[in-house]
Chains A and B, each alone.
Chain A
Amino acid sequence: MIDLSTSYMGLKLKNPLVIGACNIVSDLNDIVKLEEAGAAAVVYKSLFEEQIQLEAHQMDQEMEAYEGWDSEHDSMFPTANHAGPRAHLLKLKKAKQTLCIPVIGSINCVNTDKWAEFAVAVADTGVDALELNFYANIIDADRTGEDIVKEQLDTLQAVKEVVKIPIAVKLSPYYTNTLSVVTRMGKAGADGFVLFNKLFQPDIEVAREEHHYPYNFSNPNEGRLALRYAGLLYDQIGASIISSSGVFTGSDIAKMTLAGADAVQVVSAIYKKGMSHIEHMLQELTSWMITKEYQTLNDFRGKLSRAKMGDPFAYKRAQYVDILMKSEIFMKYHPKDGEELH
Chain B
Amino acid sequence: MSTSKKHINTDGNTAASNIAYAFSEVAAIYPITPSSDMGEKADAWAAAGKKNLFGQKVDVVQMQSEGGAAGAIHGALTAGAMSTTFTASQGLLLMLPNMYKIAGEMLPTVFHVSARSLACQALSIFGDHSDVMSARGTGFAELSSTNVQEAQDMAAIAHLATLESRIPFIHFFDGFRTSHSIQKIESISYDELKSMLDMKYVERFRSEAMKPEDPYCKVGAQNPDVYFQGRETVNQYYQACPDIVQKYMDMFKEKTGRGYDLFEYIGDPEAESIVIAMGSSISTIKETVDYMNRNGAKVGAINVRLYRPFSVEALKEVVPATVKRIAVLDRTKEPGAPGEPLYLDVVATLRSRPEIEIIGGRYGLSSKEFTPSMIKAVYEHLDAGGHHDFTVGINDDVTHRSIEVKEEIDSEQEDIVRCKFWGYGSDGTVSANKNAIKIIGESTDQFVQGYFQYDSNKSGGYTVSHLRFGKQPILSEYLLNKSDFIALHRPQYIGQYDILEGITEGGTFLINTGQKPERIFNLFTQEMQQTIRDKKLKVFAIDASKIAKSVGLGGRINSVMQTAFFKLSGVLPEKEAIELIKKYVEKQFLVKGKEIVEMNWNAIDASVEAIIEVPIPKANADEKYAQITAVVPEDAGDFAQLVMDPVLRLKGDRIPVSLMSINGTIPSGTKKLEKRGRPGNPAKWVEKLPFVEHCQVDETYFEYPGCCSGCGETPYIHLATQLYGDRMMIANATGCSSIYGGTFPSTPYTTDSKGRGPAWANSLFEDNAEYGFGMRLAIDANREQLKSNIEAYIEMEPKSKLAVALKDRLAEWKSVTPEAKDHADMIKELLKQYTSKAKGEAKPVLEKITELEDYLVDKSVWILGGDGWAYDIGFGGLDHVMASNRNINILVMDTEVYSNTGGQSSKATPRAAVAKFASNGKQMGKKNLGLMMTTYGNAYVASVNMGMDREQAALAIVEAEKHNGPSLVIAYSPCIAHGYSLQHAKKQSEKASKSGYWPSYRYNPALSAEGKDPFVWESPEQDMDFNQYVEEEIRYRTLMRSNPEEADRLMELAKEDNVRRFNDLRHLSSPTEQDAPKEEIQTKKAITDD
Option from A65, A68, A78, A79 in Cβ contact (under 8 Å) with B915:
A78
A-B contact pairs, 20 of them (CB 8 A): A54-B596, A57-B593, A62-B979, A65-B556, A66-B979, A68-B429, A68-B463, A71-B456, A72-B901, A73-B902, A74-B902, A77-B916, A77-B1034, A77-B1038, A79-B44, A83-B1043, A86-B1044, A87-B1040, A87-B1041, A87-B1047
Interface of A is mostly: loop
Q: What residues of chain B lie closer than 8 Å to A296, measured between beta carbons?
A: none
* Residue in A closest to B708 when the chains form the complex, CB atoms: A69
Q: A-B pairs with the 7 shortest C-beta distances?
A: A68-B430, A87-B1044, A53-B593, A80-B1042, A78-B919, A70-B454, A57-B592
Interface set, chain A 43-101, CB cutoff 8 A to B: 50, 53-57, 59-60, 62-83, 86-87, 90
* Residue in B closest to A27 when the chains form the complex, CB atoms: B1027
A-B pairs with beta carbons under 8 A, tally: 137
| Residue pair A77, B428 in contact (C-beta under 8 Å) | no
Rounded to whole Å, the gap between the CB of A28 and the closest CB of chain B is 11
Q: What residues of chain A lie closer than 8 Å to B1047, measured between beta carbons?
A: 87
Option from B428, B452, B1048 in Cβ contact (under 8 Å) with A90:
B1048
Q: What residues of chain A lie closer than 8 Å to B914, measured between beta carbons?
A: 77-78, 80
| Residue pair B426, A69 in contact (C-beta under 8 Å) | yes
A309 at the interface (CB under 8 A from B): no
| Residue pair B33, A71 in contact (C-beta under 8 Å) | yes
Once bound together, how far apart are the Cα atoms of A74 and B463, in whole Å? 11
Q: What residues of chain A lie closer than 8 Å to B919, measured between beta carbons?
A: 78-80
Interface set, chain B 574-614, CB cutoff 8 A to A: 589, 591-594, 596
A110 at the interface (CB under 8 A from B): yes
* Residue in A closest to B555 when the chains form the complex, CB atoms: A65
Q: What residues of chain B lie closer than 8 Å to A72, measured between beta carbons?
A: 33, 125, 739, 900-902
Q: What residues of chain B lie closer than 8 Å to A70, measured between beta carbons?
A: 425, 454-459, 461
Once bound together, how far apart are the Cα atoms of A55 and B40, in whole Å? 25
B976 at the interface (CB under 8 A from A): yes
Once bound together, how far apart are the Cα atoms of A78 and B1043, in whole Å? 13
Q: Given known contacts A53-B591, A74-B902, A87-B1040, is B452 in contact with A68 (CB within 8 Å)?
A: yes
0/1 per residue, A85-122, Cβ < 8 Å to B?
Answer: 01100100000000000000000001000000000000
| Residue pair A76, B902 in contact (C-beta under 8 Å) | yes
| Residue pair A110, B1044 in contact (C-beta under 8 Å) | no
B1045 at the interface (CB under 8 A from A): yes
Once bound together, how far apart are the Cα atoms of A75 and B1039, in whole Å? 17
Rounded to whole Å, the gap between the CB of B457 and the closest CB of chain A is 7
0/1 per residue, B29-52, Cβ < 8 Å to A?
Answer: 000011001001001100100000
Q: Given known contacts A53-B591, A77-B903, is B1044 in contact with A68 (CB within 8 Å)?
A: no
| Residue pair A77, B979 in contact (C-beta under 8 Å) | yes
Interface size on A (CB < 8 Å)? 34
- 10 other A-B residue contacts (CB within 8 Å) besides A68-B452, A78-B916: A54-B593, A54-B596, A56-B1041, A57-B592, A67-B430, A68-B423, A71-B125, A71-B176, A77-B903, A77-B915
B180 at the interface (CB under 8 A from A): yes
B672 at the interface (CB under 8 A from A): no
Q: What residues of chain B lie closer than 8 Å to A65, measured between beta carbons?
A: 426, 556
Q: What residues of chain B lie closer than 8 Å to A54, measured between beta carbons?
A: 592-593, 596
Q: What residues of chain A lie closer than 8 Å to B976, measured between beta carbons?
A: 66, 69, 73, 76
Option from B458, B593, B915 in Cβ contact (under 8 Å) with A73:
B458
Q: What residues of chain B lie closer than 8 Å to A82, measured between beta carbons?
A: 1041-1042
B954 at the interface (CB under 8 A from A): no
Q: What residues of chain B lie closer than 8 Å to A80, measured between beta carbons?
A: 914, 919, 1038-1039, 1041-1043
| Residue pair B1035, A77 in contact (C-beta under 8 Å) | yes
Q: What residues of chain A lie closer than 8 Å to B915, measured between beta carbons?
A: 77-78
Q: What residues of chain A lie closer than 8 Å to B556, measured between beta carbons?
A: 65
0/1 per residue, A180-221, Cβ < 8 Å to B?
Answer: 000000000000000000000000000000000000000000
Q: What residues of chain A lie closer than 8 Å to B452, measured between beta carbons?
A: 68, 74
Once bound together, how far apart are the Cα atoms of A10 and B461, in whole Å? 65
Q: What residues of chain B lie closer than 8 Å to A110, measured between beta carbons?
A: 593-594
Interface set, chain B 1035-1085, CB cutoff 8 A to A: 1035, 1037-1045, 1047-1048
* Residue in A closest to B427 when the chains form the complex, CB atoms: A68
Interface set, chain A 285-324, CB cutoff 8 A to B: none
Q: What residues of chain B lie closer than 8 Å to A55, measured between beta carbons?
A: 1041
Q: What residues of chain B lie closer than 8 Å to A57, measured between beta carbons?
A: 589, 592-593, 596
| Residue pair A64, B428 in contact (C-beta under 8 Å) | yes
Once bound together, how far apart are the Cα atoms of A67 and B458, in whole Å? 12
**Residue of A62, A69, A77, A83 contacting most chain B CB atoms (<10 Å):** A69
Q: Given known contacts A71-B33, A72-B901, is B1041 in contact with A59 (CB within 8 Å)?
A: yes
Q: What residues of chain A lie closer than 8 Å to B589, measured between beta carbons?
A: 57
* Residue in A closest to B901 when the chains form the complex, CB atoms: A72
B431 at the interface (CB under 8 A from A): yes
Once bound together, how far apart are the Cα atoms of A70 and B596, in whole Å? 29
B532 at the interface (CB under 8 A from A): no
Rounded to whole Å, the gap between the CB of A53 and the closest CB of chain B is 4
B133 at the interface (CB under 8 A from A): no
* Residue in A closest to B978 when the chains form the complex, CB atoms: A76
Rounded to whole Å, the gap between the CB of A92 and the closest CB of chain B is 11
Interface set, chain B 911-933, CB cutoff 8 A to A: 914-919
| Residue pair B902, A68 in contact (C-beta under 8 Å) | no
| Residue pair A76, B903 in contact (C-beta under 8 Å) | yes
0/1 per residue, B834-847, Cβ < 8 Å to A?
Answer: 00000000000000
Q: What residues of chain A lie closer than 8 Å to B180, measured between beta carbons?
A: 74
**Residue of B430, B458, B1044 contacting most chain A CB atoms (<10 Å):** B1044
Once bound together, how far apart are the Cα atoms of A72 and B430, in whole Å? 13
**Residue of A54, A59, A73 contacting most chain B CB atoms (<10 Å):** A73
| Residue pair A68, B979 in contact (C-beta under 8 Å) | no
Once bound together, how far apart are the Cα atoms of A12 and B919, in whole Å? 45
Q: What residues of chain A lie closer than 8 Å to B594, measured between beta carbons?
A: 110
* Residue in B closest to A68 when the chains form the complex, CB atoms: B430
Option from A56, A78, A86 in Cβ contact (under 8 Å) with B44:
A78
Once bound together, how far apart are the Cα atoms of A90 and B40, in whole Å? 28
B342 at the interface (CB under 8 A from A): no
| Residue pair A83, B1044 in contact (C-beta under 8 Å) | yes
* Residue in B closest to A64 when the chains form the complex, CB atoms: B431
Once bound together, how far apart are the Cα atoms of A79 and B1039, in whole Å? 11
Option from A74, A76, A83 in Cβ contact (under 8 Å) with B1041:
A83
| Residue pair A83, B1042 in contact (C-beta under 8 Å) | yes
Once bound together, how far apart are the Cα atoms of A163 and B1047, in whole Å? 28
B779 at the interface (CB under 8 A from A): no
Rounded to whole Å, the gap between the CB of B899 and the closest CB of chain A is 8
* Residue in B closest to A51 when the chains form the complex, CB atoms: B593
B977 at the interface (CB under 8 A from A): yes
| Residue pair B902, A75 in contact (C-beta under 8 Å) | yes
Once bound together, how far apart are the Cα atoms of A50 and B125, in whole Å? 44
Q: What residues of chain A lie closer than 8 Å to B40, measured between beta carbons?
A: 78
Q: What residues of chain A lie closer than 8 Å to B430, measured between beta carbons?
A: 67-68, 74
Interface set, chain A 263-278, CB cutoff 8 A to B: none
| Residue pair B431, A68 in contact (C-beta under 8 Å) | yes
Q: What residues of chain A lie closer than 8 Å to B916, measured between beta carbons?
A: 77-78
Rounded to whole Å, the gap between the CB of A132 and the closest CB of chain B is 20
Once bound together, how far apart are the Cα atoms of A90 and B903, in whole Å? 28
| Residue pair B1041, A90 in contact (C-beta under 8 Å) | no
Once bound together, how far apart are the Cα atoms of A245 and B506, in whole Å? 69
Once bound together, how far apart are the Cα atoms of A81 and B1044, in whole Å? 12
Q: What residues of chain A lie closer than 8 Å to B34, measured between beta carbons?
A: 71
Rounded to whole Å, the gap between the CB of B643 and the closest CB of chain A is 21
| Residue pair A50, B593 in contact (C-beta under 8 Å) | yes
Once bound together, how far apart are the Cα atoms of A169 and B415, in whole Å? 62
Once bound together, how far apart are the Cα atoms of A74 and B426, in whole Å? 10
* Residue in A closest to B975 when the chains form the complex, CB atoms: A76
